[in-house]
Structure 1
Amino acid sequence: MFTRKQWAILLVFVGLAFTTGFIVRGGGSPAPSISAPESTATVTEWTCSMHPQIRQPKPGLCPICAMELIPVSTGDDHQSDNPRQIKLSPAAIKLAHIQTSPVERRALSAELRLVGKLDVDETRLTKITAWIPGRIDKLHIDFTGTTVNNGQPVADVYSPKLLTLQEEYLQALRLKSDVLVNASRKKLELFGLSAAQIQAIQDRGSAEDHITVLAPASGIVTHKNAVEGMYVNTGTEIYTLADLSNLWVWLEAYESDLSWIHEGLPVELTTEAYPGESFTGNIEFIDPILNPHTRTVNFRVSVPNPQGKLKPEMFVRALLQADPSTTRPPLVIPASAPLITGKRAVVYVADPEQEGVFEGREIVLGDRVGDFYIVKRGLGEGEHVVTYGNFKIDSALQILAKPSMMNPEGGATSSAHQHGEMPVARTPVAASSPPSLLEVPPVFQRQLDAVFSAYFEIQQALSHDNLEDAKAAGNAMTRALENVDMSVLQDDAHHLWMSHLPVLKDNAAGIARAIVIDIARTKFEKLSTTLISVAKQFDISDTQPVLVFHCPMAFGDQGADWLQNKPGVENPYFGAQMLRCGEQIETIIP
């Protein structure tokens, strides 16, 4: 029990406590709450658009790919009710270097450069044949290449049958029978005699046992098929004439270029023989059937040759300035605007009513013309699309688990761009097992091994920015391709290898001739695409691994594949600039 004195002391302490609390609280006023401004966007850390696992407290370069880090801000950035939209503060837009361009209509002209060969115009070929059986006693044209004019004598033929026909005609003239005269004259005409020759028989009044064969057209003798003393029958070819005043040029166009090619389109031609001089022709014919081996379509250009400068079998370079076949200029966007993956093309459109808001939108693209893409569907004239920084916006959407280029449905996803050196959890790539590989003999497999080995040397050289080694390896691959004996292949394997071989040779040689490394890398991409097809279609040997890698940033974010014979990304398209940029996507030979 407390005593009366103890209770008094306790009450004093309680009173002092309440008094102290009142003073501290400032006379009973509520303590002010501390709150952040409503519309701030505080940058708290920085990340890489390609490697969102990288987080740093200040700006700089990504330690993996050396790309500039972008800000990850807290506040009003990224807040939008639309799952396909993202909102960036002015500071974030500036730091990410976001740039936009308008969607506009523009008259475009596609420039196609092709190589072809001159050929004789088939409609201007003439065969000089024997119209009557007999013996060639004299040839007036002794060698090929001679110019022949229409009506010029080319051969004298002895023919007993012709002697009989002339006697019939003279007899009809003596009888003065119009019916017999006309019938006899018709026979002589059918055996190749001209009106002047028939009139000469009539004026002479006697028959001759020789007929002079006249040239039915002008041209150059391209073939001489007879010799003096040779017996001929009706229809035997004596000469072949070609009128070279007009020639044909045969060119090949890939499927992607067919929309630009149409009959009547003018073509500018140049040759090695006449540097600085151009010739003009027009497309006359487009083959209705595509070549299944080269995936190209042949088309023919007719080119006038009045001075005879152009010769059949000459190689020519063709330049086509093609316009899209539309009634008004097409809708276009810069080529850097769309992010393309497979069949999908995504652009980020700036919201005209909300500053800093960008919306991802799938569109349908037409042909690429220079630095622009034609837009078929999905955009309207006057809208603004992001042309620089769109990949960073897309990466930010991936981080927020919103729909993006690589993840159209949204939701959590792994990084779109992994690296072999990073400890990222992922499903191991399984060795591919094509349903039906074309079987090839062991000798062909060994020859292909040399081709792949040279290819891997090119890949290594380009990944280390060594152009000279890449050129040497390109020469080695060219020699390896020449040593491949395709005669050991049968049926489908033979035809398939023949379709791949020109592409492989052309690009391997292009690497060997490259004067700058960018050209070598462009050729290497085409080389890689074809060699990946070879590795997947043929039963190649398992003497060395064959792994497929992909970099989505190569060639202006178009993406490109390549092969390696060892794990670990060594990017041949960027070299030291972004050596580890890419990921292994497939194992052909483990």
Structure 2
Amino acid sequence: MKNITKTILVAVSTLLIGLLIGWLIFGNSNDTNNAEHDHSAAAVGVETVWTCSMHPQIRQNEAGDCPICGMDLIPLEEDAGNLDPNAISMSPTAMQLANVRTLIVGTNAANKSVRLTGKVQADERQLFTQSSHIPGRVEKLNVNFTGDYVNKGQVIAYVYSPELVTAQEELLEAEKIKEKQPALFSAAKEKLKNWKLTDAQVEKVVTSKKTITEFPIVANVSGYVTKKMVNLGDYLKAGQPIYEIANLSKVWVLFDVYESDLQWVKKGNEISYTVKSLPGKTFTGKVTYIDPTIDPKTRVAKARVEVANKDLALKPEMFATGQIKSSQDGKDATLTVPKSAVMWTGKRSVVYVMNQSSEGVSFMMREVTLGPELGEEYVIESGLEAGEEIAVNGTFSIDAAAQLAGKPSMMNPAGGAVMTGHNHGGSSGQMAEMKVEVQKTAIDPQAKDALKPIYTHYLKLKDALVASNFDQAKEAANMLKKSVNNVNMALFKGDAHNTWMALSDNFKSSLEHTNHWSDIEAIRTAFIPISNTLISLTKAFNPNREKIYVQYCPMAANNTGASWISMEEQIRNPYFGDAMLTCGNVEEELAGSAKATPAESDKPKPKSPKTSAMGNIGNTHIHIDYSSPSVRGRVIWGGLVAYDKVWSSGAHKATTIDFSNDVTINNTKVPAGKYGFFTIPGKDQWTIILSKDWDMHLADDYTQANDLLRFKVKPTKLNEPVESLKYEVIPSNDKSGVIKLSWSDLSVSFKVINN
């Protein structure tokens, strides 16, 4: 019992001592907690930065909605630090896994080794045609095959000439009366000398009293016969070629120079080359001439190297391979980067620039302008500076990471979230494809009335874009957005409801960022999907009583083409405004819902003649308007009408041709702009004129001082209406093409070269 009591006392004592020690050690814990609380409160006092998970470039000092997509903003993570929101950060491990390597950009001499191929050709200055100086029949050929060598003065053929025999007989008759008529005798001798008979030959005829029946043809030069042009027994005219002869002691080596290499090949460049048929031997020479024009079929110019060929080792048509080491004119040092550093989309070239900070390594996409290609490098014209560090390997991995993070990337330069099923805008290219496949669906008159404000504000937007008025366009777009939101979807039943929901979604996506549009081009980009959606809506519901014209411009949207809607047939282009106001054509006519009277519906509708043509030659857009002619069965040319000898008629205007860039027509440079195209009739031929004055009244305003080009053509009398005329713009390649005018089975073409 005593032992139990003793044990209890020890335990209680130990507990009391433990409590006392704990109080002494942790007794001030309340103060500590207060201090920690105060510190936390101070941390909360630090300003929080708010961003959007879908648009990380957005940063605000307070919570709210994203100004781009409307989503709730979230606090910016602390590890984001002061990194640029458009930069993509990468850890050392990630860089190692992606095999990212970098290089500091520097300047180097812009040197390039250009490899060329070509052929040996005869020197054109050493090519000769051996002709017969007398008419007659070939009696004998001393040179019977091509490749034979002839020496100057060698007799190469004999010709029997009745005319020359007659001239000799006249000389012999004149010799008989030379004492009485010495002048006649002298004239007879001179006549023979004019046939290139020598004095000795003439004296031989006089002394022998016999005519020469076979006259020798003597070689004028030494060389190899490259072409035999007559055979034994052929009859020749005076001056007719017999042989072509080439002196091969000097030859040319003509190298093909592609357009991309022309800037590197200059007259005077040293070139070393080899000939496949002469292995182990290297030739050197200088470029003495470069063609001033490009062959339209092969797209190359010829660079000439002149070579002495005394041993005749080089023979025409031998293949040669050469190399020129050249540098850019006027540039001692240029900024160059490896090809692997550049990502090229076809329209843009980008690199990723590395930045290092206390937060780590990050990469920022940078658009650059490329200069010439230097083998495995590019010259950088703008966008980088010496000393900057760029990624030269693993660039696609960096770009992929940027896309996944919603940062600006090669294919999405504006940045934004990756498309994962919920679209918050998208690029202009994606928006341009917002088209809804629709079927014609009947809707109630109330639903049609609800859609009318959409057309009203759309047309105001279109007119503002035609006038290039940014403020009016933005206001009209906001009103269009409001009118779409105000449509009561309950008015659309069944299939019409589903169709309207799809169309309204497209409208809202296209008009989502109206408040953030900063220039007229941004509105024009959004106008493409807006127009596509409205065209689909018109085809589905046909809510208008009036006819609607679907118009199309092939130059819009970076030459991919775009459509729009108009209430009038006249072309007024919203994508270019005054720059190309009439570029386009009526693609489709959508009939209104107004009912026609029975008499009107029974009448056949005449097909409107085509009155405009357009097309691209290289990057030059050509638009031709020949809508003025309206008189039938007259003498015409070029879409212009004439009455007999009167060169113009009343109120007729000239055909107009509009060039977006400078061109060359018949060796005459034609600056970009609009021109008049018309004719002045003559008795046997007409004069076709390209005039600087495109808006003249032909009868009253024409002045020759404004003529830029003149052509001569033969007129024709048509047995068909003027409306059958057709213009065409036909490209031959990326540099040249033709403007073709045709009617019936007749046509005239003019060559156009894009400058």
Residue 99 (structure 1) aligned to one of 97, 102, 123: 102
The CA deviation string for residues 348-372 of structure 1, in whole angstroms up to 9 with x for no partner, is 2345998845432101112322121
- Secondary structure (helix, strand or coil) at the match of 2:313 reads coil
SS at structure 2 position matched to 1:136: strand
In the aligned structure 1, how far is the partner of 2:246 from the partner of 2:381?
A: 47
Name 1:535's counterpart in structure 2: none
Q: What secondary structure does 1:406 align onto?
A: coil
Q: Decide which of 106, 109, 114 is 1:111's aligned counterpart.
A: 114
Moved more, 403-412 or 280-289: 280-289
Corresponding position: 1:310 with 2:314: yes
Q: Give, in angstroms, the shift of residue 269 of structure 1.
A: 3.6
Distance in 2 (alpha carbons) for counterparts of 1:220 and 1:362:
60
* Corresponding letter in the other structure for 2:281: E
Q: CA deviation at 1:409?
A: 0.2
**Alignment match, 2:399:** 394
Deviation at 1:188, TM superposition (A): 5.0
Is the 8 Å Cα contact of residues 189 and 202 (structure 2) preserved in structure 1? no
- C-alpha distance in structure 1 between counterparts of 2:351 and 2:31, whole Å: 59
Equivalent residue in structure 2 for 1:297, among 289, 297, 300: 300
Cα drift, residue 104 of structure 1: 0.9
Task: Give the 3-state SS of the residue equivalent to 1:28 in structure 2.
Answer: helix
Q: What secondary structure, in the 3-state scheme, does the structure 2 residue paired with 1:363 have?
A: strand
After TM superposition, the structure 1 stretch with the greater mean CA deviation from structure 2, 181-190 or 151-160, is 181-190
Which residue of structure 2 aligns with residue 45 of structure 1? Answer: none
Q: Which secondary structure does the structure 2 equivalent of 1:29 belong to?
A: helix
After superposition, where does 1:51-450 map in structure 2 within 5 Å?
A: 79-80=81-82, 82-86=84-88, 97-114=100-117, 116-163=118-165, 165=167, 190-193=194-197, 197-198=198-199, 201=202, 206=207, 209=212, 210-249=214-253, 251-280=255-284, 282=287, 284-286=289-291, 288-291=293-296, 296-299=299-302, 301-304=304-307, 305-351=309-355, 356=361, 358-414=363-419
Residues 76, 87 of structure 1: 8 Å contact kept: no
Unaligned 5+ residue runs, structure 2?
1-18, 44-75, 421-434, 436-755
Shift of the 158–92 alpha-carbon distance from structure 1 to 2, 3 Å rule, reads closer
> In 2 relative to 1, CA 364–78 (structure 1 residues): closer, same or farther, beyond 3 Å?
farther
The aligned runs of 1:484-499 (5 Å cut-off) are none
SS of corresponding position for 1:259:
helix
Write the deviation string for residues 68-87 of structure 1: whole angstroms up to 9, x where unpaired: xxxxxx99876445344345
Secondary structure in structure 2 of the residue aligned to 1:408: coil
Return the alpha-carbon distance in structure 1 between the equivalents of residues 125 and 219 of structure 2: 17
Counterpart of 1:372, as a letter, is E
Letter in 2 for 1:129: S
- What is the deviation of 1:27? 5.7
Once structures 1 and 2 are overlaid, which stretch shifts more, 277-286 or 359-368?
277-286
When residues 400 and 124 of structure 1 are mapped into structure 2, their CA distance, relative to the original with a 3 A threshold, is same
In structure 2, C-alpha distance between the alignment counterparts of 1:380 and 1:178, rounded to whole Å: 94
Deviation at 1:411, TM superposition (A): 0.9
Question: Could you tell me how far 1:137 is from its partner in structure 2?
Answer: 3.5
Pair 1:198–1:332, CA change in 2 (3 A): farther
SS at match of 1:161: helix
What per-residue deviation string (whole Å, max 9, x for no partner) do you get for residues 343-393 of structure 1? 211112345998845432101112322121011222233433332343343
Higher alpha-carbon deviation: 200-209 or 303-312 = 200-209
Partners of 1:321 and 1:183 in 2: CA distance = 66
Aligned counterparts of 2:32 and 2:182: Cα–Cα separation in 1 = 141
**Per-residue Cα deviation, 1:442-478 (whole angstroms, up to 9, x for no partner):** xxxxxxxxxxxxxxxxxxxxxxxxxxxxxxxxxxxxx
Q: Describe the shift of the 1:82–1:228 C-alpha distance in structure 2 as closer, same or farther (beyond 3 A).
A: same
Secondary structure of 1:360's counterpart equals strand
Structure 2 distance, partners of 1:230, 1:276, is 48
Call closer, same or farther: CA 1:366–1:310 in 2, change over 3 Å.
same
Aligned counterpart, 1:69: none
Report the residue type matching 1:333 in the other structure: V
Q: What amino acid is aligned across from residue 142 of structure 2 in structure 1?
A: H
Q: Which has the larger radius of gyration?
A: 2
Who is 1:583 aligned against? none
Shift of 1:412: 0.6
- Secondary structure at the aligned position of 1:109 is classed as strand
Question: Aligned to 2:31, what secondary structure does the other structure show?
Answer: coil
| Residues 107 and 333 in structure 2, CA contact (< 8 A), matched pair in contact too | no
TM-superposed CA distance for 1:271, in Å, is 3.0
**RMSD of equivalent CA atoms:** 4.7
- State the secondary structure of the residue aligned to 1:274: coil
Q: Following TM superposition, by how much is the alpha carbon of 1:253 offset from its aligned partner in structure 2, in angstroms?
A: 4.7
Contact 1:267 1:283 in 2 (8 A): no
- In 2, the alpha carbon distance for the partners of 1:150 and 1:27 equals 125
Scaled by the length of structure 1, the TM-score of the pair is 0.50
Q: 1:201 to 1:390 in 2, by over 3 A?
A: same
Q: Which amino acid aligns with 1:236?
A: Q
Are the aligned partners of 1:80 and 1:87 in contact in 2 as well (CA < 8 Å)? no
1:52 matched to which residue of 2?
none
Is this contact kept in 1: 2:111–2:325, CA < 8 A? no
Asked whether the 8 Å contact 2:105–2:335 carries over to 1, the reply is no
What secondary structure sits across from 2:340 in the alignment?
A: coil
The alpha-carbon distance between structure 1 residues 308 and 378, as it changes in their structure 2 partners (threshold 3 A), is: same
Equivalent pairs, count:
359
- How far the C-alpha of 1:330 sits from its partner, in A, is 3.4
Distance 2:398 2:319 in 1: 49
Deviations 1:201-256 (A, max 9, x none): 45886485243222112210123333445443223332221222333455545443
Residues 188 and 198, structure 1, Cα contact 8 Å, conserved in 2: no
For residues 312 and 225 of structure 1, the distance between their equivalents in structure 2, rounded to whole angstroms, comes to 20
Structure-2 separation of matches of 1:79 and 1:342: 35
| Cα distance in 2, alignment partners of residues 262 and 200 from structure 1 | 55
TM-score computed with the length of structure 2 as normaliser: 0.40
- 1:78, 1:86 within 8 Å by CA — same for their partners in 2? no
- Measure the CA separation in 2 of the matches of 1:383 and 1:165: 91
Distance, in Å, in 2 between the alignment partners of 1:189 and 1:270 is 51
Describe the SS at the equivalent of 1:394. Answer: helix
Alpha-carbon distance in 2 for matches of 1:190, 1:262: 49
Aligned-residue identity in percent: 35
TM-superposed deviation, 1:342? 2.1
**CA–CA separation in structure 1 for the residues paired with 2:112 and 2:181:** 71
Shift of 1:279: 3.5
> 2:225 touches 2:246 (CA, 8 Å); kept in 1?
yes
Matched-pair contact (CA < 8 Å) for 1:280–1:303: no
Q: Compared with structure 1, are the counterparts of its residues 291 and 275 closer, same or farther at alpha carbon in structure 2 (3 Å cutoff)? A: same
